[in-house]
């Protein structure tokens, strides 16, 4: 096949189908009709002499040829998009945009008040939608432009994503201010294990980061309450004798008694993640800089 035979307008269609795995969603992303997408796919199949995608119960599954050529296709589209974006500078004062971010409830607590206060001053036309996307779906959502950013732990295996560290948070043990242990200056390991604890996890079962660290010491804490969200856990602490092992930045928002942990535990790293295809896009780049500046 000669390059002259290929209609370059077909490559964005190929990329949209690859990222969405669905002809209807690809059409919505490209702002064209589904028949137009189907027609473009048929033309691509004829030119490349390959099915390119196979319809399955889980959507349009790419063929080996598609998987092989997509990195180069996406690289070319990114380069073209970057060139076009240079002529469309982002103007925050007049921009009308919805920023879509994936983060959990604790990240919302730490990030959204500061971010919205800042955007209100420098980019009043920008609104924010925050919802949690599971980590195994983040790359797909970012590639499909369903998300602009994600705030999460580092994702080393997601090579198609760029990421930058926002902050690092160490953990402390949080108790209500009039807890029987509150008058102490420090907390021993035996006293920590004597306490009844709150465990925060979106999963139904499985250990937390504190439990993993204690298991290495051959010890185990007593879990009295398991909840899904960090926002409710401190409220329970303030009404009971239960203890909460929590990042310092969240513990500081409550009039609680906090102790350094009597054992080693990895700190919580927050990273800002975005798809590499958006690296030079004007609005994405500006918003990225604002978040990084607020938490740098």
The pLDDT value given to residue 234: 94
Residues 27 and 77 in one domain: yes
* 38 and 23 Cβ atoms separated by less than 8 Å: yes
Domain of residue 196, CATH code: 3.40.190.10
Residue of higher predicted confidence among 268 and 217:
217
Nearest to 245 by CA among 205, 209, 214, 194: 209
The pLDDT value given to residue 1: 45
Residues 259 and 274 in one domain: no
Measure the CA dihedral 167/271/110/230, to 10°: -110
For residue 167, name the pLDDT band (cuts at 50, 70, 90): confident
Residues 259 and 284 in one domain: no
Q: What range does the domain containing 76 cover?
A: 3-85
pLDDT digits (tens, 9 = 90+) for 77-97: 776 666 555 445 678 998 888
Domain of residue 18, CATH code: 1.10.10.10
Residues 49 and 136 in one domain: no
pLDDT digits (tens, 9 = 90+) for 171-183: 999 999 999 999 9
Residues 66 and 105 in one domain: no
Residues 146 and 282 in one domain: yes
For residues 194-202, average pLDDT: 93
Nearest to 192 by CA among 258, 286, 267: 258
Percent of the chain with pLDDT over 70: 94
Please check whether residue 92 lies inside any domain of the structure. no
Residues 104 and 229 in one domain: no
Please check whether residue 9 lies inside any domain of the structure. yes
Residues 7 and 34 in one domain: yes
Among 58, 85, 112, give the residue marking a domain's end: 85
Give how many domains the chain has, as a whole number.
Answer: 3
Percent of the chain with pLDDT over 90: 46
User: Picking from 128-132, 226-230, 257-261, 280-284, which range would have the lowest pLDDT averaged per residue?
Assistant: 280-284
Q: CB pairs under 8 A, 24+ apart, for 76-82?
A: 76/11, 77/11, 77/12, 77/15, 77/277, 78/276, 78/277, 78/279, 78/280, 81/277, 81/280, 81/281, 82/279, 82/280, 82/281
Residues 279 and 160 in one domain: yes
């Amino acid at each position: 096949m000669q390059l002259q035979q290929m209609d370059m307008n077909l490559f964005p269609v190929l990329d949209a189908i690859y990222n969405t795995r669905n002809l209807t969603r690809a059409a919505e992303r490209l702002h064209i009709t589904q028949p137009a997408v189907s027609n473009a796919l048929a033309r691509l199949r004829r030119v490349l002499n390959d099915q390119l995608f196979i319809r399955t119960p889980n959507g349009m599954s790419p063929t080996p040829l598609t998987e092989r050529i997509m990195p180069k296709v996406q690289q070319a589209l990114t380069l073209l998009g970057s060139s076009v974006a240079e002529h469309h500078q982002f103007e925050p004062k007049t921009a009308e945009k919805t920023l879509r971010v994936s983060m959990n409830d604790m990240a919302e607590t730490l990030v959204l008040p500061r971010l919205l206060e800042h955007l209100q001053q420098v980019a009043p036309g920008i609104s924010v939608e925050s919802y949690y996307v599971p980590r195994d779906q983040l790359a797909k959502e970012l590639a499909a432009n369903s998300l602009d950013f994600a705030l999460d732990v580092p994702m080393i295996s997601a090579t198609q994503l760029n990421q930058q560290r926002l902050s690092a948070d160490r953990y402390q043990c949080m108790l209500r201010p009039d807890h029987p242990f509150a008058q102490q200056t420090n907390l021993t390991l035996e006293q920590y294990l004597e306490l009844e604890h709150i465990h925060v996890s979106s999963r139904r079962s499985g250990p937390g980061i504190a439990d993993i660290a204690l298991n290495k010491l051959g010890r185990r804490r007593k879990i009295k309450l398991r909840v899904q969200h960090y926002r409710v856990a401190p409220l329970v602490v303030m009404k009971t004798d239960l203890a909460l092992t929590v990042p310092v930045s969240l513990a500081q928002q409550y009039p609680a008694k906090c102790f350094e942990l009597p054992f080693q535990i990895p700190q919580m790293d927050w990273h800002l993640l975005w798809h590499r295809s958006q690296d030079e896009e004007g609005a994405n780049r500006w918003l990225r800089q604002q978040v990084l500046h607020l938490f740098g």
